[in-house]
Amino acid sequence: MCGIVGYVGEQSAADVLFSGLARLEYRGYDSWGIALAAPDGLQVRKKSGKLAGLRDLLATETLPGTVGIGHTRWATHGRPDDVNAHPHLDCHGHIAIVHNGIIENYVELREELRRQGHTFVSQTDTEVIVHLLERELADPDALRADGGYVGEYARSGAPDALLTAAVAATIRHLDGAYALAVLWDALPDCLVAARKGSPLIIGLGQGENLIASDIPAVLAHTRRVAILNDGDLAVVRAGGVEFLDGGLTAVTEPEIMEVEWSLEAAEKGGYEDFMLKEIHEQPTALRATLQGRFEDGRVQLSELTLSDAELAALERVFIIACGTSYHAGLVAKTLIEKWARIPVEVQVSSEFRYSDPLVDARTLVIAITQSGETIDTLFGVREARAKGAKAFAVTNVVGSSVTRPEAADGVVYTHAGPEIGVAATKTFTAQIAALNVLALKLAQARGTLTADEIARIFAELNELPGHIEQILLHQDDIRSCAESGCCVNACTSLFLGRGVGVPIAMEGALKLKEISYIHAEAYAAGEMKHGPIALIDASVPVVGVATDGSTYEKVVSNIKEVQARDAIVVVVASEGNESIRNRVDHVFYVPRTSELLSPIVATVPLQLFAYYIAKSRGCDVDQPRNLAKSVTVE
C-alpha cells in the first residue's frame, strides 16, 4: 500500500521524487523518505508525517543528484516514525532500498543476519532486504561462482551485473510480496527494480526513465508505461531500460501501454478536494463505462473469453471483493439472481480462500477490485482457478495484476479515470454500472430476459448519468442537513435499507466512518429491531434508503419504529414522494428509476452527506487517518 518512485535522468531527482510521491500519497501517508546518488555518497532524508514535510525541506535545502528513489508509507511493521520510514540502508550506508509489500519470513531472516553480525535499527520487515543485499555484494566472487542464472549474469560483464545479480540472489530468500527499487552508491547512474505480488511500473521517457507504484507518478514525464510482470526485474538507466525475467533472461518485447488519460485528470481541477471532484465526475465515469456495451440489440462484452454456451452452463457464481467493492458485489448478487437466475454468493476476499469454497468448472468467480491490486482478492482468484473455476475481473486499472492472463479469464473495465481520493466514490458507481452490464450479458446468454427487456434496461441505464447530474445540481438540502449539529456532533449513527437498499446503506455507513470518524453501522431494516434498536435515542441519526420499490412500505414501517425512540431520521427517497416529507426530519430526493437500478442514484446523496459532515468536522476527506487507497497487504 506504500508508494514508490524512482528517477534516472538529467533533472533534479529530489524535485521529481517529490512530485511523483505527491501523486502517490493516497497509497500511504504515515511517513516519507528519499535517497539520492550524490558525488559524496548517498544522501538520505526521511521523516514521519505527511509529504508536506518533504516540500518544506526542499524549500530550504538544495539536494544534489539526478538519480534517486522515494517512498511514502502506510505502516505495517513498526510504528510510523522517522526510523521506520523508508528508504532503509545497509550497515555502512552504501545501499538504499524502498519497498512495498510484506516479507513473511522476515523474522527468520533477521535472526540469521544478526548471527552473521548485521545490526538492525528499525522494526520493519523491509530492513532485512537491504542487509541481504549487503551480504551478497560483500562477496562478488561468490556471486560469480553461483552455479545458476545468478552466477551467469554476474559473470556477464554488464556494468550493472553485480547489483542485478545481488538483487536476484536476494529475492530468492524472500517469502511474501514485494515491489523494490534499489540504489547503490557504487553504481550511481542506475536503479534496479523487482516485483512479486505488488505493483510496479516503468515510465519510459526521453533521456530519463522512472519507476513507480502507479501511473500518476510518471505522467508529468511520459505516457509510455511498461508493466513489470510478477517475478520480473528491470535495470533502469537514463538512456534505456533492460527488462529481465525471474531467471535474468532478457525480455525483448516488454508489454508497453500508452496511457490515455492526462495528468490533468489526476489534478483537483478547481475543486477543494479530490473526493468532491470525483463525486462530480460520476456522470462522465458512468457514460464511459456504459459506452459501446449495447449495440445491434446485443450486450457487448467481447473481452470475456467464455462463449454464450459456456455462460449458459454455469451453475453458480461467487463474487469476491473488499470494502466498497464488496458492497458493489452485494448489488450484483441481486442483479444476477433476478435477471440471469443463477445463485450467487458474495464473500469478502480475505475470507474466501480460507473457507474451502465449493467451486468447480461450472462456477464463475467475479473478482471486483478498484485498483486491480487488492492482494486478498488476487489470492482469492488464484484459489478459485486452481479448483477449476472460471474468473472474471471488474477493475478500473488497465494493466493491473488482476487483468493478467494468469489472474482472470476476462476483464470488465470501469472507465472512471484515476481516483485519487482514498474513499471510493466514482469507482463504486462505475462498478455497479459494469456489473449491470455483466448481469445482462449472463441473462442474454441464458435466455432469461428477452431482447426487448434487455434493451429497455439499457435505455434506463443510459439515463442514470443525467439523473446524477440533477442530484449534483441540487445538493443544498444535503449540505444543510449534514452541517446541522445533530449530524456533525453525533457519536454514532445507523443506516437502514431493504433489498438493494441494504448494500447502499452499508456503503453510506462506510463512507461516513471512513472520512468523518463517526461510528456508523448498516443493517437490513427488518433486523434493526433484533438488537441495534437498543442504540437509538435522540442523539443518534438514522439514515434510511427509502426509494420506490417492492419493500418501500416495509422501510417506512421500520423508520416509524426508530422515530418512536426519538431518533433523528434522514431518508433518501424518490422524487414526487411528498408523503414521506411529513414523516421524517430530512429528505434527500433522487430521480425516479426502476428498483434494480436505484442503487446508483441512491448512493450519491450519501456520498455528499458523508463529505459535508467530514468537512464540517475539519477532517481530511482525501487522506483519512490509517487508510490507504490500494490495499496490497493481507
Active site residues: 2, 629
Name the 3-class secondary structure at 272: coil
CA distance 26 to 74: 9
CB atoms within 10 A of CB 479: 16
CB burial of residue 507 (10 Å; 0-12, 13-18, 19+): buried
State the Cα–Cα distance between residues 431 and 119, nearest whole angstrom. Answer: 48
Amino acid in the structure at residue 342: I
Query: How many CB atoms lie under 10 A from the CB of residue 445?
Result: 21
- Alpha-carbon dihedral of residues 619, 623, 625, 630, nearest 10 degrees? 150
Ramachandran class of 609: left when φ > 0, alpha when ψ lies in -120 to 50, beta otherwise: alpha
Please state, as a whole number, how many other Cβ atoms lie within 10 Å of the Cβ of residue 581: 13
Measured CA to CA, the distance from residue 239 to residue 223 in angstroms comes to: 17
Q: Which three cell numbers stand for residue 338?
A: 433476478
Which parts of 28-171 fold into alpha helices (H)?
A: 52-60, 106-115, 127-137, 140-145, 149-154, 161-171
Is residue 459 helix, strand or coil?
A: helix
Q: Which residue has 538512456 as its cell numbers? A: 239
The full 3-state SS of 384-398, as one line of letters, equals: HHHCCCEEEEEECCC
603 sits in which H/E element: helix 598-616
88 CB-contact burial (10 Å; exposed 0-12 / middle 13-18 / buried 19+)? buried
Q: Which amino acid is at 592?
A: R
Calpha distance 182→97 (Å, rounded): 5
Region class of 561: left (phi > 0), else alpha (psi between -120 and 50), else beta: alpha
Determine phi and psi for 239, rounding to 5 degrees. -85, -5
Q: Could you identify the residue written with the cell 533521456?
A: 207
